[in-house]
Amino acid sequence: MYKNLLNKAREAREKSFCSYSGFAVGAALLCSDGEIFTGCNIENISYSLTNCAERTAIFKAVSEGKKDFTAIAVVGSVKSCDCFESQCFPCGACLQVMSEFCGSDFEVILAEHGEAKVYKFNELMPRIFDSKF
């Protein structure tokens, strides 16, 4: 079901700028209207300015006026290797950004040995920061 989305994440990973870590990540974000926004990690010589693939995709989509999302596919591995043996889980910063826009039905799709693994967002982030108390 999410094969196409994972393929888009793989294609996006090819554009990764990861000169410092050598770890290339690609993401593909599915909007509820069917549109897909992709992103890759973009590193910087001032390391902390690096942007993760997931946030690149989300920021691209939001900056184009989209705010309803269904799922995100993420793949990552060392740049020289196109094999996705282990799942590349989104980091905490990306999960926090997802929490701003994505409901609990939102799904995160990862690849492991060529197979899609599907998680509900709140499995990966059961508690979120929320100042609206």
Give residues in contact with ligand THU (CB under 6 A). 18, 21, 23, 25, 41, 43, 50, 52-54, 90-91, 94
Q: Which is nearer to ligand THU, 33 or 47 (CB)?
A: 47
Give the span between the Cα atoms of 131 and 95, in whole angstroms: 16
Give the span between the Cα atoms of 36 and 108, in whole angstroms: 14
CB-based burial of residue 70 (10 Å sphere; 0-12 exposed, 13-18 middle, 19+ buried)? middle
In sequence order, the 6+-apart residues with CB closer than 8 A to the CB of 115 are none
Catalytic: which of 35, 54, 64, 123? 54
Tell the smallest beta-carbon distance from residue 33 to ligand THU (Å): 25
Tell the smallest beta-carbon distance from residue 7 to ligand THU (Å): 18
Tell the smallest beta-carbon distance from residue 11 to ligand THU (Å): 15
Q: Which is nearer to ligand THU, 91 or 128 (CB)?
A: 91
Task: List the one residue out of 1, 42, 43, 8 whose CA is nearest residue 27.
Answer: 8
Q: Which is nearer to ligand THU, 33 or 50 (CB)?
A: 50
Q: Is 54 a known active-site residue?
A: yes
Give the span between the Cα atoms of 39 and 97, in whole angstroms: 14
- Active-site positions read 54
